[in-house]
Structure 1
Amino acid sequence: MKPLNRLIPIFYAATAIAGSAQVEPFSLDASDPKEIGKGTITSEQSAISPGTPFTVAIHLSHPEGWHSYYKNSGGIELPPEITWNLPDGFKAAALQWPTPELFASDFGTSIGYAEGPTLLAEITPPADLKPGTNVTLGAEATWQYCQPGKCINDEESLSLELPVGEQAVTDPGQAGLFSEARAALPQALAASSGSSFPGAAGDVLVIRQGKEVTLQISGQTAEAIKGNIAFAPDQPFVAPVDFTAASVEDGTISLPLKQAIDIADKPVPIEGDGISGILLLKDGPAVAIPFTKFGKAPAPPVSFSQLLPILGGMLIGGLILNLMPCVFPVIGLKIMGFVQQAGEDRKKIIFHGLAFTLGVLVSFWILSGILFALRAGAAPGQEIGWGYQLQNPWTILVLMLLMFVLGLSMYGVFEIGASATGFGGSLQSKQGLSGSFFSGILATVVATPCSAPFLGAAIGAAIALPALQFFLAFTFMALGLSLPYLILSIFPKLVEMLPRPGPWMESFKQAMSFLLFATAGFLLWVYTAQIGLGNMLNVVVGLTLIAIAGWIFGRWDTPAKSPAVRWAAKALVVVFAVFGFIACKPPAESSITWDTWSSDKVEELLADGQPVYVDFTAQWCATCQVNKKRAYPEEVATLMKERGIVALKADKTKANPEIDAKLEELGRSAIPVNVLYVPGKEPIITPEILSADYLKDLFTKEVPAPTE
């Protein structure tokens, strides 16, 4: 019988079913059936020759009234396994499986055989095999056969001795066996167009969209398809498809495939990058579907009546974006520019409005182009949407620093020119046009994290459009974002209704800085979620250093200061800004998994012979955060994994009497405290300041390497 671990799924399934459906528990008594299964191995040739492939047949029988299984059983039943024991130089090709059938079982629909299957395999002997000798082929066969409420695991050691001659000799006595075995194999798709499966020669496409998988075969006709086709997948994550109404449209058969469900009613994870299987036909031979990688269906064009509401939704969504917290600071600052232009030359005002609109359009075209490329290159099942680039922590970091620095400038900590930001300054020069163009780009960049009514649904519909309609939809969204500015520039009387320039503008500018700080705070929240809350202190320190750099720049790098002072100020600005950026940047990822500490867990692990490393830490502990930054690179994580060290975190961010008691027991009253526990040894308390070199040396000396 099989080893116990092979039987665990059956016992588990039996328990689940017995508890819910009141059926007979599984029996694993091999004496139950009247006859026991038997495995045999047969060669198509009575003599083999050096280097000439030959075919063997392995037949796995089972008692009448039972079922054995295909290589994917369709459920938790176990498929046959063949382990070869061949002489040196011999190679066995993949097994050739006969066409199975679908049948109802205790676990739904299973894939298998009412009669024992005959598996074919091609064996290739080495070219230097000596004629006149004998060779012995060996194989270990294991297979399972079941009937309602009972399963039996069987096994057989198979052996076949063959003579080696100058020429291969076919055994006529086995012709019927091999002819019947080959007839039971499914036909190749490209070679079966003459069968009763109409036009079976065609292209295969497996479309995956999230958890939905669809098998499509082109070059077909609709006759004799509905209710006549089923599918037996080779991969266990796809459920068998019984004879159902497959849809046929424009010469393409579409067969929806459902994700398999395990015994606990949970979806089986989709693994790999494609599927294969066998199309089963009621009125014709089966057709083998070769392994086909997952693809994506091309986006079908939509009619004008369908496209119009999408374009309207994108335009409205772009307009509403102007009221979002991410974009609103840019609005106020841009309106300041129009206020400054009240009464100026109308053409110049229009040029600035067009420059801003062009900046929005160009940046939207670039972002939507990136999105389109990501959509085209994304793995099947991978969802790509607007704002996808914001999943990258580097993108969030750059946006956060940009908003923070601009906020410092708007508050008056330092001044930067209009050519860099488009905020304020003269709009009568070339620099002013450049600033308006950049303002459009900035408005687009900070708009991407925002969502609004009408926007989510419209973007979801637009992303599925083909290329031309896709870019047209996002162009409408860009026009919606830039429309208020464009209207103000084209109709100067509206600009004249705005307040005239005056001292109030400085207060207004400083007020706008708080919106920029709020946007930076929102991005800090997103960034912290990406890099982990434990790294937030580093970011706060980094932003503080960058703020100091801005203050030095605005205080001492001014025309009123001497050249020596200005050069010193520039040097300090660079130093503080660089160190601030380094502190803010995403940390190197470590593969250490920290479990939650408890005294009982430590005792259990030590009793099992596992070493334990405990970090007593807290969010408010600055030294703890420094340790996390520098002491746990990937080489330390790898060493801990090699030595079997379990990492536990005792978090003291909130009051925890159990942690306080353990620290007192260790003779410590303050954190950080890091302790290494090794079975049979006293706990080792590390220094407060950790380094990667110290931990590598500690783990190497104190924790023995596992024995093979």
Structure 2
Amino acid sequence: MEKPLRLSKLVKLTLAILLLTFFDDSQTDAKNASSNIIDNDHTQLRLLSSITAVGKSETLMLGLHFTMKPGWKVYWRSPGDAGYPPSIDWRGSTNLGDFEMLWPIPQRFSILGLETLGYKNEVLFPIKIRLKSPGKSLLAVANIDYLTCNEICVPYKAKLALDLKAGPALPSDFVHIINRFVALVPGDGATHGVSIDTVESIGKGKQVYLRVKASSRTPFTYPDVFFEGPDVLVYDKPSAVFQSQNKEVILTSKVHGTEDLEPPNKLANLIFGVTVRDGDRSAERTLSIRQVSSKDPSISFGYIIVLALLGGLILNLMPCVLPVLSLKLLSIIGHGGGKKHQVQLSFIASAGGIIFSFILLAATLAVMKSADMTIGWGIQFQQSWFLIAMILTITLFACNLWGLFEFRLPYWISRLGENTAHIQGLSGNFLTGCFATLLATPCSAPFLGTAVGFALARDTIDIFAVFTALGFGLALPYLLVASIPSLATRLPKPGRWMITLRQAMGFALAGSTIWLLSILSNAMGQNIGLLVGSLTLSLIGILFLAKRLNKMQKIGVCGVAVVVLLAFSVPSLMTYQAPENITSNKDPRFKNIWQPLDVKAIPKLVADGKTVFVDVTADWCLTCQINKVFVISQDNILQRLEQKNVIAMQADWTLPDDAVTAYLVSFGRYGIPFNAVYSSKTPRGMVLPELLKQDAVIEALDMGR
């Protein structure tokens, strides 16, 4: 019995030695397949090998592995607006020939208007190495220069050394992590079912865009695009327009710095690297840029001019212009029993004021566009200084109609025509036309959005042509009276009844002042609104006192000047916090319906079978309020918006908002109201008319069922 026992002990001892040897070899292999580890305050890095020894192959795969502390990042090969990518110097290496560093698909970081591309948490850069002498040992010495950033940026230098002996090339413990990041390196997209079809340049001057069309076997969810071109160029985050049930997407990104190119502002025929990402899927191509016209050949310029004329004409019936109707009415009645040529000159002057104001507005927008500033229809109502100026101006007009003062222009100007409603002569009629244009801008009307969108997306000459047509449309009623003066001259002559009518019209203008004060309060805070309102009342009081004391020059003029200065200084002297979702919080019926607009979430919601209703509105947009009262807040619409498969999103444009502006521009719109419905049948969004109709909204919402 002694021999079997001894044999059993010998077997156990042999097995133990073999296990220890295997464990020691495994530990040695793991150690040989990794360099030293560099650990600092923000990152940890090491150089890894996918095999334990060099084997007989001419090439092998290494990996530069970064682990970042929370919040810190390193950069992609084309980092964007800031930063620089990791670089490797192989001085001190032996048996290392050529190498190629591969770059996994990065993620985008948008911070304070800067767009950067890189990696957080962890990244491994695969590195293809070609050996000078296959089969011989490799000493890879990597001198790393890299930048890591969070709220601040810290540059680092590190030296890593990896020693791979000659011997069989067995898989190392790190082969899986290396392969995982190799799979994230963009290729031609065939593996992921993604292809980049075209890349085009549109626009010119400072308004240059790159437009990429990509397609996919499965629907896109969160597509993005990264460009690699001349170093002087930087690129905005792209907007996305989906087609073919989200299996096609058009990504459009604004390009900055084209004026520094040679020749300036020309991208045509330049070679760009284009990378499209959608989650973990990606595709990459190198393409020559094709220049295309930004104009839609399917829309004739003459058709747009007709739309502008109609839009301007209909604008006369919009609520924004109602306060000016009092001045229009007084102007017509004031010519009762008058001479025909005086009527003609008066109404031509008013029409001239309207057209001049639209030309001035076109010039302002053209200059803003060339300076790369935000442009749009009615955006001046987003500015506190403009609201205050309009409040004071309308109040002065109302005080004039109440008879508290007479607005006397310089003698040489007033002699250009006869007295008309205390605002003297042709110059007064001209100013009335200018005033009508200012009040018209926060309103939209049928055909107006299409015409304005066409103009602001085109050249300067197109902007002037379309806005001049809008002016003629708004001025058509004046031109009608000028061509048929008997419409005014046959009215009864003005008498004492005219004074009562003027006072009533003054209260109509006062109502406009209250409306503008409410906009100012909602946008800038109640304290600012109350203080400006108090100053407005004091303005009326000063003019009343000056008239009673017959000291208009000493009290009236000086008092008005002081009130104006104080009113304009209120926003800068007082701090305010504008409430979030200003518009949507006002009506309790919508409390649990509206969500903030999230453009990125819409494709995923549609893919999940949801219907998304988007409403872009503002306190100063009276057409938006009409849509809300007569359409959106109606029971049959509310019931649909409350359904589980319907998501209602609202964007508030009362104050300037670059994200909302970019969303509107993606549809070629530069004004509001704007409403769109997204569903499985309309994944790109169905744009609804400016003036909503219940039937149109119901049909669009039911289409997604």
TM-score (normalizing by structure 2): 0.46
Say which structure, 1 or 2, has more relative contact order (CA 8 Å, 6+ apart).
2
